[in-house]
Amino acid sequence: MTATQTIGSAASPKGAAAPSPAADVAIDCRVEKIFYGNFLAVRDSHVPVQKGKITGFIGPSGCGKSTVLRSLNRMNDMITGFKLEGHVHFMGQDLYASYVDPVVVRRYIGMVFQQPNPFSMSIYDNVAFGLRLNRFKGNLDDKVEHALRRAALWDEVKDKLKASGLSLSGGQQQRLCIARAVATEPTVLLMDEPCSALDPIATRRVEQLMLELKDDYTIALVTHNMQQATRVADITAFFGVDISQGGRTGYLVEMGETKQIFEEPREQLTKQYIRGEFS
């Protein structure tokens, strides 16, 4: 548990030969290969996720952007046949080292999913869920209120905290999920197409929320929507699909400041994608 003391110090990873990441990198993702069974899903994707910024992952379907995102908190471990070659460094540790329990990883790196997925319990219990898991001993009510305010949901639900989380609208449910994720104050928030099931107004609110949250959290965001990346992401990683080996293997094409990616992309493929020549 010494990792908790080294937040922000970016200590060099234990026993790893990889160059120590720059101090402003929260998660240094160095994926060599990701397999599902025999299928090579992703290759060569070195994605440093910058501290205190929003890193957008964009690319056509099947480019592995979600797979890479989900390997950052070991959610992919739930899928049988998943195998990762490479390293993901976080707080000076390799997340894929044999002694690291994925359960612990997920407590430090929170996640918001594509479909709003509140638990079928009250709004209050949804937000308190993570706090209780972590055996939080302080004032639960305060933390719940704080998280709900952080997710810009407090005013809408403060009079019905006992109502089921599932009684809320889609956009509210997604903000509830964000509240649930930020309640335990993880250092990084992974968001896997958090707006894809939401209408434009709800999308705008969630985007606004991301911009507010980045003061306190590092955010990695997968989006299928290029406009969303330009609106919220500071840094954009563009993934492409390589069909030369027979399968569809995703890889990182280029990564840089969002402005640079969208205005002067270095790679031809990025240029074509930005122009909307394929999706």
Partner 1 sequence: MASNPFSAAAVAGAITQPPTGRDYLVDRSFRSLALVGAVLIIALMAYILYEIGGQAWPAISKYHIDFLTTSAWNVQDGVFGILPVIWGTLYSSLLALLIGGFFGLTVAIFLSQDFLPPRLAFVFRTIIEMLAAIPSVVFGLWGIFVVIPAIRPVANWLHESFGWIPFFSTSLSGPGLAPATIVLAIMILPTVAAISQDALNLVPYRTKEAAYGMGATRWEAILKVMVPTAAGGIFSAMVLGFGRALGETMALAMLIGNSNTISLSLFSPAKTLASLLASNFPEAGPIEVEALMYAALVLLLITLIVNIAGIGILQVTQRRISGKS
Does 107 engage in binding with partner 1 (CB under 8 A)?
Answer: yes
Q: CB-based contacts of 131: which residues, under 8 Å, 6+ apart?
A: 140, 143, 144, 183, 184
**Residue 122: how many other CB atoms lie within 10 Å:** 17
Paired tokens of 28: 């240094």
Does 248 engage in binding with partner 1 (CB under 8 A)?
Answer: no
Fill in the per-residue mask, 67 to 96: x = in contact with partner 1 (CB under 8 A), - = not in contact: ------x-x--x------------------
Does 66 engage in binding with partner 1 (CB under 8 A)?
Answer: no
What's the min distance (Å) between Cβ of 112 and partner 1?
8
Residue 273: C-alpha distances to residues 70, 123, 208, 264 (Å): 23, 40, 25, 13
Distance of CA 171 to the CA centre of its chain: 18
Does 129 engage in binding with partner 1 (CB under 8 A)?
Answer: yes
Q: Is 257 exposed, middle or buried (0-12, 13-18, 19+ CB in 10 A)?
A: middle
Does 194 engage in binding with partner 1 (CB under 8 A)?
Answer: no
User: Parallel, antiparallel, or unpaired for β 39-50 and 25-36?
Assistant: antiparallel
Does 17 engage in binding with partner 1 (CB under 8 A)?
Answer: no
Does 30 engage in binding with partner 1 (CB under 8 A)?
Answer: no
Does residue 57 sit in helix, strand or coil? strand
Length of the chain equals 279
Does 56 engage in binding with partner 1 (CB under 8 A)?
Answer: no
Query: With respect to partner 1, which residue has the nearer C-beta, 43 or 74?
Result: 74
Binding residue for partner 1 (CB under 8 A) from 104, 196, 230, 256? 104
Does 222 engage in binding with partner 1 (CB under 8 A)?
Answer: no
Query: With respect to partner 1, which residue has the nearer C-beta, 13 or 130?
Result: 130
Does 198 engage in binding with partner 1 (CB under 8 A)?
Answer: no
Does residue 267 sit in helix, strand or coil? coil
Query: With respect to partner 1, which residue has the nearer C-beta, 160 or 266?
Result: 160
What's the min distance (Å) between Cβ of 197 and partner 1?
10
- Specify the stretch interacting with partner 1 by CB under 8 A; choose among 13-21, 42-50, 114-122, 213-221: 114-122
Q: How far apart are CA 20 and CA 172, in angstroms?
A: 40
Does 178 engage in binding with partner 1 (CB under 8 A)?
Answer: no
Does 133 engage in binding with partner 1 (CB under 8 A)?
Answer: yes
Binding residue for partner 1 (CB under 8 A) from 7, 22, 121, 243? 121
Q: CB-based contacts of 118: which residues, under 8 Å, 6+ apart?
A: 126, 165, 166, 168, 173, 176, 177, 180
Distance of CA 274 to the CA centre of its chain: 22
Q: What is the spatial order of strands in the sheet that 82-90 belongs to?
A: 93-94, 82-90, 25-36, 39-50, 249-257, 235-242, 54-58, 218-222, 188-192, 109-112
- Specify the stretch interacting with partner 1 by CB under 8 A; choose among 13-21, 90-98, 125-133, 226-234: 125-133
Binding site for partner 1 (CB under 8 A): 73, 75, 78, 103-108, 110-111, 113, 115, 117-121, 129-130, 133-134, 163-168, 177, 180-181, 184
